[in-house]
Amino acid sequence: MNLPVAFDQFEYLSIAPGRVNMLGEHIDYNGGSVLPAAIDRYVYLGANKSNDQIIKITALDLDQTISFRIDQIEKKIDIQGNPLPEWSLYPAGVFWAAAKQNLRISGFEGIITSTIPMGTGLSSSAAVEVAFAALMREFCSWDIDNLELAKICQMAENQYIGVNCGLMDQFASANGVQNSLLFFNTTTLDWFPVELPDNVTIVITNSKISRALSTSAYNERRRSCEKALIDLQKTYPGRSNLCQISISEFEEIENELEETLHKRAKHVVNECNRVNQAINFLKDNMLVEFGELMKASHNSLRDLYEVSTPELDFMVSIANNIDGCYGSRLTGAGFGGCIVSLVKTESVNKYVKELESTYLKKTGKEIETYVCKASEGVTVQWHELTASYVD
Ligand code: GLA
C-alpha cells in the first residue's frame, strides 16, 4: 500500500486487517467454533500522542475531521457539543469500553484510511476498532493481550454502538496469522492457527449490494437463538448455548420448536458440526470435502437462517460451477455483502474472469473480486518523524 504522504507527520502507525470467515457463520454468539482469517486489506491509522484530553481524528476517505473530549465520550458529542458522526463512534466506543475497564486513555491526533471495502461483511468496522485499541494500548502501556483487546472492541460494538455481535471479527483482526485460518472456540476462547495449503487461494467477491437493515435483522437473529435455547433447555437443562446440543439431541425434539426458532437453531447446531468436521478435512488436505461443507453452509444460511440475498445465491451458484472452485458461501452476517470461495491457486485468474463475466452477462451488473492472502493481525510501528512510511 502506498500510504498518503500525510502519514509522515505521525510517529505511530497502527495497521489492522479486515477478516473473512471461511466457515461457522452466526455461531460465534452461540458458543460455536469459527474459522476466520485476517485478510490483506487494512485500516491504517497514523497518530501522535498529545498532552491534553482531546482526541482529534481525520478520516481521509471521508474527508472529515472530528475532535472530542475524553470526558465527553459517554455523551457521544464532539467539542462543539454536536452529535458524533457515525464513523467516529467506533474509536469513541473503544475508548469508552476501555475506560469502563479502568484503562487509561490519552489525547492524540491522528489520521485514518482504509483498503477494506466498507459495509460488505469484511469487518471494516472491527478493523477500525482494533487499530484504535492497539494504538491506545501502545500510548498508555495497557498490559493486555490481543484477545483482551478484541473483547474491549466487542464491548464497544455491543454497548456503545448497539450491534450485538460476537467476538469473531475483532478476534481475527487482532490475532490473524499469515497463510492461516484461525480455529477459534468462542466458548473457551482457545484458538490455534491452521495453515492453508499453498495450492489454494481465498477469493472474495463483492455483490455491491449494501446490507440494508442489517443491524436490526442481526440482533433479531440473535434473539431467536436465545429463545430457541430457552425452549431446548426444558429437555436439556444445563446447556448454556445452542452449540452444546448435538445434532441427534436436536433431532429428537426439534418438532417441539416454533417454526422460525426451529430453522434458526437447526442452522446453528449443524453449522457447529460443520466447523468441527472442516478442521480435520483441512489438516488432511481434503479440500473437496472442505468445499462441500462451505456449500452446505451457504444453503443453510439461505434456507434456515435466511440471511442471504438473491444476488449472493446467484454468485455462489455460478462460482460453484467454475472449474477449480472447491466451494463458495456468503461470508459475514449476510443481508448483502460478499461471498468467499476456496479456489485452486492455478485456476484463480480464470475463475475470477468467468465469475465476473457470467454475472455481468446474466444480470447486467458488475461485481468486484478481491484475491486475498491470510495475513497477520494488528501491528503498531513507531518511526522518527524524519523517516517516511511512504515508499
Ligand atoms: C458479523 C458479526 C460476527 C458474526 C458474523 C456472523 O460479522 O460481527 O460477530 O456473528 O456477523 O457469523
- Binned at pLDDT 50, 70 and 90, residue 390 comes out as confident
| 298 located within any domain | no
| 300 located within any domain | no
Calculate Rg over the CA atoms of the chain: 21
Nearest CA to ligand 1 atom 8: 165
Tell me, using a 6 A CB cutoff, whether residue 168 lines ligand 1.
Answer: yes
Mean pLDDT of all residues belonging to the chain: 96
pLDDT at 185 (0 to 100) = 98
Nearest to 180 by CA among 377, 356, 318: 377
Angle, in degrees to the nearest 10, between helices 124-140 and 146-155? 120
Mean pLDDT calculated for residue range 266-286: 96
Nearest to 293 by CA among 24, 36, 51, 67: 24
- Binned at pLDDT 50, 70 and 90, residue 391 comes out as low
Mean pLDDT calculated for residue range 233-237: 96
Mean pLDDT calculated for residue range 51-80: 97
Distances, alpha carbon 238 to alpha carbons 141, 151, 232, 235, 276, in Å: 40, 25, 10, 10, 22
Mean pLDDT calculated for residue range 1-9: 89
Q: Which three cell numbers stand for residue 296?
A: 452446505
pLDDT tens-digit series, residues 316-362: 999 999 999 999 999 999 999 999 999 999 999 999 999 999 999 99
pTM of the model: 0.96
Contact 269, 245 (CB under 8 A): yes
pLDDT for 386 beyond 90: no
pLDDT for 137 beyond 70: yes
pLDDT > 70: percent of the chain = 99
| 245 located within any domain | no
pLDDT for 159 beyond 80: yes
pLDDT at 264 (0 to 100) = 98
| 112 located within any domain | yes
Contact 201, 328 (CB under 8 A): no
pLDDT at 212 (0 to 100) = 59
**460488505: which residue's cell?**
120
Domain total of the chain: 1
* Closest ligand 1 atom to 168 CA: 9
Mean pLDDT calculated for residue range 103-114: 98
Residue 72: half-sphere exposure toward Cβ, Cα within 13 Å: 15
* Closest ligand 1 atom to 165 CA: 9
Helix (H) or strand (E) holding 15: strand 12-21
Q: How far is ligand 1, taken at its centre, from the CA of residue 170, in Å?
A: 10
pLDDT at 263 (0 to 100) = 98
Tell me, using a 6 A CB cutoff, whether residue 128 lines ligand 1.
Answer: no
pLDDT for 59 beyond 70: yes
| 268 located within any domain | no
Nearest CA to ligand 1 atom 11: 333
| 12 located within any domain | yes
pLDDT tens-digit series, residues 281-309: 999 999 999 999 999 999 999 999 999 99
Q: Which residues of 122-146 are buried (b: 16+ CB within 10 A; e: fewer)?
A: bbbbbbbbbbbbbbbbbbeebeeeb
Supply the CATH number for residue 175's domain: 3.30.230.10
Q: Which of 169, 198, 231, 313 is catalytic?
A: 169
pLDDT at 209 (0 to 100) = 85
Q: Which three cell numbers stand for residue 13?
A: 502507525
| 167 located within any domain | yes
Q: How far is ligand 1, taken at its centre, from the CA of residue 126, in Å?
A: 10
Identify which of 169, 170, 330 to mutate to test ligand 1's pocket (most ligand atoms within 8 A of the CB): 169
Identify which of 26, 128, 189 to mutate to test ligand 1's pocket (most ligand atoms within 8 A of the CB): 26
231 CB burial (10 A radius; 0-12, 13-18, 19+): middle
Q: Is 313 a catalytic residue?
A: no
| 239 located within any domain | no
Domain span at residue 98 reads: 5-194+376-382
